[in-house]
Every structure is written in structure tokens, then in C-alpha cells.
Chains A and B, each alone.
Chain A
Amino acid sequence: DTAVSQTPKYLVTQMGNDKSIKCEQNLGHDTMYWYKQDSKKFLKIMFSYNNKELIINETVPNRFSPKSPDKAHLNLHINSLELGDSAVYFCASSRTSGGNNEQFFGPGTRLTVL
């Protein structure tokens, strides 16, 4: 059974389009995250939700809008895609939002904007 799953795995799209990435976790965790990993492998947090409430919102363009319909799901919608949005996007979850909680990562969604 996959613990944290993301769809799609690959996404190739044109500049200016709008796209969504979905994430689901079956671990019963309260907290979920979106990370962006650039071409140099640098992994940076974008958002975090705890029990469907936004608790971390790093400096991310407002073209990116996360949505958590329930605590097992966290989706990411991106409007007006730009070349610089090309990256691998990882969803993760942890038992709670405390600093000592292990985060479990999904397999990633490789987004390419042409």
C-alpha cells in the first residue's frame, strides 16, 4: 500500500496553462506539505496544512493555491504556469506539525513547462 501518493507523476504543459497536482496519504496523519525541488536538488517548503488548516505559507507566488478538502488530501493548483515553475513537486505528511515528526514523502510530480 502506498503511504503518500501523488498524481500525475509527470506533467508537461505550455506556459500560461493552469494545472493541478493531487496528493493523498493513508497514514492517518494530521499534517501535509508541498515542497518544490529545483534542478539542483534543492528542496524548499511551499505550504503546510494541519487538519485542513493552512499553517505554513512560504513566499510563494499567489498563482499557487493549495486546497485541503480533508486531512488525507492536499491538492496544489497552479495558474498561468511559467517556465520557472518547472521542477519536481513533492507532497509529504507527518503525524503532527511538531518539529520532531518524521515526514513521509510522495514519489514526486515532475512538472515541465514549455
Chain B
Amino acid sequence: QKEVEQDPGPLSVPEGAIVSLNCTYSNSAFQYFMWYRQYSRKGPELLMYTYSSGNKEDGRFTAQVDKSSKYISLFIRDSQPSDSATYLCAMNDYKLSFGAGTTVTVRA
């Protein structure tokens, strides 16, 4: 069983929809929780970073962490075609462990 589980999708939504992505994990040592966005043929870039349980909002993006359930989520409101990318959750103890990535397509 992988330390970090993420549904690889793909996920296709119409423009303006809410995109919901999530990951589960098994390692209680994970302390830092991140979401990276990777456009096609590019390197991943950090989108959101959280430390504690709860919500963190940044513009159209909201990250949620529930440490008791070992579950993290990313919501994208009012999705745009430019949000089409692969979204990878990542968690850190001494190294960064990534989920498999969910490929999202937002249709215009």
C-alpha cells in the first residue's frame, strides 16, 4: 500500500464548476501538506501549503486537512480552462511523498 493515495482521474468539468480533489495517507509522521500543480511538459509548482488541520484559502483555491481522518482536499472554485493541469498532493516528514496526481481538464 502506498503511503499517499490519490485518485488519478482523469477529471473533466465545465468552466465555472467546482473541482474537488483529495488524498488519503497512512503515515502519521506527516506534518506538512502541500498541493502542487503540474502543467503538461513542465515541472510541478507549489500551489498550496498547510501545516495544521483546518482550511486554508487562497483566491479560488481552498485546501483542507483532516489529520484525524488522514485526509486532505483541494477545492477549486469557478474553475477556468487555465486550471487544466495535473494536481499532486504531497506530504512531508523527512522527505516529500507525492500522490499519483489527478489530471483535471476544464472545458470552455
Q: Could you list which residues of chain A lie within 8 angstroms of chain B, going by C-beta atoms? A: 4, 40-45, 48, 56, 58, 90, 92, 99-100, 102-108
Contact = CB atoms under 8 A, between A and B. Distances in A.
Given A41-B8, A99-B92, 15 more contacts: A40-B8, A40-B100, A41-B88, A41-B100, A41-B101, A42-B98, A42-B100, A43-B88, A56-B94, A56-B95, A90-B43, A100-B31, A102-B49, A104-B45, A105-B44
Given A56-B94, A99-B31, A99-B93, A106 B8 contact: no
A108 B44 CA distance: 10
A4 B43 contact: yes
Contacts, number: 53
Most chain A CB inside 10 Å of its own CB: which residue of B42, B44, B92: B44
Contact of A107 (B43, B51, B94): B43
Given A41-B86, A43-B101, A108 B43 contact: yes
A100 B97 CA distance: 13
Contacts of B44: 43, 90, 105
Contact of A100 (B32, B38, B43, B86): B32
A108 B103 contact: no
B30 to A, nearest CB: 9
A45 B49 contact: no
Contacts of A40: 8, 100
Contacts of A104: 45-46
28 contacts: A40-B8, A41-B8, A41-B88, A41-B101, A42-B98, A42-B100, A42-B101, A43-B88, A44-B98, A45-B95, A56-B94, A58-B95, A90-B43, A92-B43, A99-B31, A99-B93, A99-B94, A100-B31, A100-B32, A100-B51, A102-B49, A103-B96, A104-B45, A105-B44, A106-B43, A108-B41, A108-B42, A108-B43
